[in-house]
Amino acid sequence: MRSNVVGTYHVFEAARMAGVKRVIFASSGATVSGWEREPPLSHLVAGRYAEAGAITPLTHESPLRPSGLYGASKIWGEAIGRHYADTHGMSVICLRIGRVKAEDRPTTTRDVTVWCSQRDIVRMIEACVEAPPSVRFDVFFVVSNLKHGYRDVEHARRVLGWTPLDTADVPR
């Protein structure tokens, strides 16, 4: 509550007062991870790929479904970002970041569906910093190349020119 709700408000308000032109908000895939509770995504994150069948990736326009209060607090952050973009003309880019790990590799079955390498997240932040001013508000999933992933990265390719380089499927 203190960091993700009150703290996020204070960051956006301080940015507005300081005349900051763009905020890159570290959101989370937890905004949609509630979809993992039922098939086909429940099969996918459990590693039962054949049972999951063909998956239509979730996009930045898919209905939100947090799996807990953390995800709900990140939805708040995206919503307040939208408010500041609309009301104060600030550029706000929300990054729904996948699972970034100290080991810089997936370590669980679920990781194979949501993992993001350290290099890929750094490159995405760079792409957001360099994005044209015409990007007023947007939301992007940030995961690496995942054979069994379910979060769309095509939107980031189209808007920012960002393409993940790393993969959970083959050691680097």
d(CA 57, CA 113): 11
Span 31-70, pLDDT tens digits: 999 999 999 999 999 999 999 999 999 999 999 999 999 9
Span 111-154, pLDDT tens digits: 999 999 999 999 999 999 999 999 999 999 999 999 999 999 99
Quote the domain boundaries for residue 92.
2-160
Span 14-32, pLDDT tens digits: 999 999 999 999 999 999 9
Residue 37 lies in a domain: yes
Residue 121 lies in a domain: yes
Residue 165 lies in a domain: no
Residue 169 lies in a domain: no
Domains identified in the chain, total number: 1
Specify the CATH number for the domain of residue 114.
3.40.50.720
Residue 57 lies in a domain: yes
- In this prediction, residue 171 carries a pLDDT of 52
- State the pTM of this model: 0.96
CB neighbours of 124 closer than 8 A, spacing ≥ 6?
A: 95, 140, 142, 156, 160, 162
CB neighbours of 152 closer than 8 A, spacing ≥ 6?
A: 57, 58, 59, 60, 141
Residue 171 lies in a domain: no
